[in-house]
A and B are shown apart, each in its own frame.
Chain A
Amino acid sequence: MTIMAADVTVERTAEVWARLESVIDPELDESVTELGFVTSVGVDAGGQVRIDFRLPTYWCAANFAFLMADDMRIAVAALPWVEKVTVGLGEHMYADEINRGVAAGLSFQATFGSEASGELEEVRRTFMVKAFQRRQEVLLTYLLDHGHEAAVLLRVTVAELAALSCDSAGHRLIVRYLERRPVVGSHADDRAFVDQDGALLDAGQIHAYLRALRRVGVNAEFNSALCRGLLATRYGPGCAPQVEVKPVHFVRSIGVARSN
């Protein structure tokens, strides 16, 4: 009986970790578990879950901290056996407010009252667009490097891109890109590659377009390196996976590493 209960707990803990993997730091477009933000998951027999997490500094932006905490709660609450999720952010300037707000299921505005002037859709969208741009740049660069013609690629639809025959690294980049493609609106017969406003791209200008997008990727990778480093300094080495990736194509490196 005890052994069975222990097995269930181990299994459920693993399910929680798997759900948490899908929660991203909106600014970095990387999973909160890969970044080493989540420190512990506790599951009890009654279906109550406790998740603890921390961030690289006391000063990390409150809106992103709230989004991550609330996304964790929502992702884990979706498991059928979960009765209650408690998320605990530690050592942060707004830890108390965020923990209270998320526990009560309050919106961001309700959590922060006069310190906020609305919800987080706008800031979330801003960073989803950046994630879209970054993933698009990496994918397009990859496909162009692998012999695809710009003029042909830019006519491909979303459905055709999903079915494009490709090696496993390329396939992973396609999957990652298509995850973010709906950010700018998406139907299966839409063109797969459009700019942030949904406009078609010009094959003749593609290299200048990609150069401009590369700025977004370099910035995100730089921030990611800084955040990982600060977290490791704050909580000791080994607290976060120190992924050694070479710029500029962080996503590509991860994709290649995973497909190996």
Chain B
Amino acid sequence: MYRTTDGEEIFIIDGHVHLWDGSKANLKNVHGQQFIDCFYAYHSNLSPKEYLWPKEKFDKYGEEAMYSDLFVTGYDDMAICQPTYLTDFYKNGFNTTESNYVLKGKYPNRFIVNGAFDPRDGEAGLDRLDELSERYKIQGVKLYTAEWRGDSKGYKLSDPGVQRYFERCEKLGIKNIHVHKGPTILPLNRDAFDVADVDDAATSFQNLNFIVEHCGLPRLDDFCWIATQETNVYGGLAVVLPFIHTRPEYFAHVISELLFWIGEDKILYGSDYGIWSPKWLIEKFMAFELPESVSKETGVQLSLTAKKKILGLNAARLYGIDIDAQKKLLADTRQTATV
């Protein structure tokens, strides 16, 4: 919970967190090493100095550090776990629904755990999706389109075979499709980060919400265009938000473009924890004001209302969270814990 200087409480739902194991013991190959090293470069490059972690903590921080960083020192009230399996790189997977669910078992009111699917798994993948739905009652999935699988270096949402998965999602009531566009989609001669396939999928599946993580970075310009065309496309702020510290002017321009093109009802806060931590992200975001030159140019404001939507109300709407009820639940839990 974040309290403004006026005493107003802002309920915060972190739309993008991970509990990963990038430790040496879990590595399968050099790609796994390069993957966690790349994450660490993002962390080191964009975090304030006082929030830099040693690499050992970063490789595998564990459940208790995560709980503390999100909810005790951080301002998050709830967080959505977005799994990234990467089973070709890590022996037990990098960040799985199963391990996320152990965390939820400990802190049931704090976490929403999403599943994942990979259309290259064919029929078996559909069965697995049924199983995830039945066992974990998932409301969303995270898709990492750049995941390596044997000889395959990724897939597109427009590939044949993906459609059946979306149909199954509709049937199972899995409404929120979080898409992370990553590099190296085959064929290699095409733009690896192209977001046009999200457009195709969003047009075909109007009942599903497509939350494009990192706002389609590095194709933010194309993403804005798609998101203005489709009513069911949202932007997740992971990776975009940390620029608020190192490059506040860029952040001002990017957030104003997003507000202008897709609007404050369709932007979702996500820390991308453990890459970055909610404490400093939220403090800086709440204190942030668009420079006058920027709001004059775009005609948009980053008002307190917009901030509240981005930080929690939009995710609450997508995941059916009754914020007042949830506040009460969390307060009761805290009381029980002290007793």
Contact = CB atoms under 8 A, between A and B. Distances in A.
A211 B184 CA distance: 31
Interface stretch (B115-123, B136-144, B247-255, B320-328): B247-255
Contact of B34 (A93, A214, A230, A232): A93
Interface in B249-276: 249-250, 253-254, 257, 260-261
Contact of B218 (A109, A122, A223): A223
Interface string B177-188: 000001110111
Interface string A106-121: 0011001001111110
Nearest to B247: A225
Interface in A51-105: 56-63, 93
Contacts of B38: 57-59
B46 interface: yes
Interface in B169-198: 182-184, 186-193
Q: Is the interface of A mostly helix, strand, loop or mixed?
A: helix
A219 B220 contact: yes
A61 B146 CA distance: 11
B107 interface: no
B220 A222 contact: yes
B192 A215 contact: no
A93 B29 CA distance: 12
A173 B42 CA distance: 33
B219 interface: yes
Nearest to A223: B218
Interface in A30-64: 56-63
Contacts, number: 113
B164 interface: no
Contacts of B295: none
A48 to B, nearest CB: 29
Contact of B246 (A123, A229, A234): A229
A60 B188 CA distance: 12
Interface string A237-254: 000000000111000000
B229 to A, nearest CB: 13
Contacts of B41: 56-57, 230, 233-234
Given A59-B34, A59-B184, A226-B218, A122 B249 contact: no
Nearest to B251: A222
A62 B188 contact: yes
Interface in B73-111: none
Interface in A191-232: 211, 214-216, 218-223, 225-226, 229-230, 232
A63 B146 CA distance: 15
A248 B297 CA distance: 11
Residue picked from A59, A60, A119, most chain B C-beta under 10 Å: A59
B9 interface: no
B10 to A, nearest CB: 27
A21 interface: no
Contacts of A160: none
Given A62-B184, A233-B45, A215 B189 contact: no
A27 interface: yes
A134 B44 CA distance: 30
A218 B253 contact: yes
B250 A247 contact: yes
A126 interface: yes
Given A59-B183, A61-B183, A225-B250, A215 B221 contact: yes
B153 interface: yes
Contacts of B244: none
A119 B188 CA distance: 9
16 contacts: A59-B184, A61-B191, A63-B191, A115-B186, A117-B187, A120-B189, A122-B189, A123-B191, A214-B257, A222-B218, A222-B253, A223-B217, A225-B247, A225-B250, A226-B217, A233-B41
Nearest first, the 9 closest Cβ-Cβ pairs linking A and B are A117-B187, A219-B221, A58-B34, A61-B192, A229-B45, A233-B45, A215-B221, A233-B41, A219-B220
